[in-house]
Chains A and B, each alone.
Chain A
Amino acid sequence: DGGITQSPKYLFRKEGQNVTLSCEQNLNHDAMYWYRQDPGQGLRLIYYSQIVNDFQKGDIAEGYSVSREKKESFPLTVTSAQKNPTAFYLCASSMNSWGGELFFGEGSRLTVL
């Protein structure tokens, strides 16, 4: 079935460690996005990518990095520079960058111990 797969679903890390969250889609979508959600809050955009080998910062990019080497994949690295990394991370894609709804993965919950 077509969709977006995020892994891992739950992740624990110690302070000072980098961690990479995986996002893979088989929908043949051009655009991909990473959002962060804190408890009881809405989603905030971290990074987005319209095409392969191109990505832009969203509203809260500090402490995060991404890559888009393949159309299907858009991994997010939470670096040690991110001061409050504990959150729920959602990856999404859309057919293109100017229309259509976003399709979301099931999310990755990161807890920093």
Chain B
Amino acid sequence: AQKITQTQPGMFVQEKEAVTLDCTYDTSDPSYGLFWYKQPSSGEMIFLIYQGSYDQQNATEGRYSLNFQKARKSANLVISASQLGDSAMYFCAMRETEAGGTSYGKLTFGQGTILTVHP
């Protein structure tokens, strides 16, 4: 079973509008972390935002916010006031805690969503 599912292969948004990128996850671990990364056409991976499974509030970082719905196991990324430079591939990722209580830091990634911002 997929641990991270991004169901939108591609999304289009008009400049200055908001857009939501979907992410659902599957884990039985009570302690986990969720990440969003942006990958422009240059290939580098840029960290955007993080949400811990025990965090009570939804994470926000500037124009990025994470709509965390724990019971539904979803962690959607909301980008407000889209800019042309937001056009990129976006990945949702999860870090789980391994048996024994350590996480080893490794992330499992979804397939990604390509976002295109139109002027």
Contacts and interface: CB of A to CB of B under 8 A. Distances in A.
Interface of A: 31, 33, 35, 40-45, 48, 50, 56, 58, 88, 90, 92, 94, 96-107, 109
Given A50-B104, A56-B104, A102-B107, 9 more contacts: A41-B112, A42-B112, A43-B109, A45-B107, A45-B108, A98-B105, A102-B105, A106-B43, A107-B43
29 contacts: A33-B106, A35-B109, A40-B111, A41-B112, A42-B110, A42-B111, A42-B112, A43-B45, A43-B93, A43-B109, A44-B109, A45-B106, A50-B104, A50-B105, A58-B106, A92-B45, A94-B105, A97-B104, A97-B105, A98-B102, A99-B33, A99-B103, A101-B35, A101-B50, A102-B107, A103-B47, A104-B37, A104-B44, A109-B43
A106 B42 contact: yes
A102 B47 contact: yes
Judged by DSSP, the binding face of B is loop
A105 B42 CA distance: 11
